Amino acid sequence: MEITVLIEPVAGNGYRAKTGDPLGLTAEGATADEALRTLKTLVAHRVAGGTQFVQLAVPGTASPWRRVAGMFENDPFFDEWQQAIAERRREMEDDPDVP
């Protein structure tokens, strides 16, 4: 499993590595690598203490647009329409007085 870690310089004090929620851990070090190693150790201690990472599938969160995605995939009229739109945009870009 991978988690996203933010590593940022700390003015005059090396680097800080931190995770977001739900862990909310922060570690500092003289270098970015040292800060990251320290953070990995903190995460390992949490996991050794029983912390688990799981993924939860939530029903009903699919985008309502999914059911219509691709509906014009092989429609020649849609392709012609897209070409007409592109041509009109070119006309308008070439001549700002085109209504």
Q: What is the pLDDT along the chain (99 residues), one digit of tens a residue?
A: 788 899 999 998 899 999 988 888 999 999 999 999 999 999 999 999 998 888 888 787 677 888 888 888 889 899 899 999 999 999 888 887 877
Q: Which of 15, 11, 8, 5 has its CA nearest to residue 42? A: 5
* 43 falls within a domain: yes
Report if pTM > 0.95: no
Domain count along the chain: 2
* 59 falls within a domain: no
Q: Which residue range is the domain that position 29 belongs to?
A: 5-48
* 9 falls within a domain: yes
Q: Say how far apart CA 9 and CA 30 lie, in whole Å.
A: 9
Indicate whether 44 and 68 sit together in one domain. no
* 58 falls within a domain: no
Q: Say how far apart CA 48 and CA 66 lie, in whole Å.
A: 41
3-state SS class at 80: helix
> Is residue 39 classed exposed, middle or buried when 0-12, 13-18 and 19+ CB atoms within 10 A define those classes?
buried
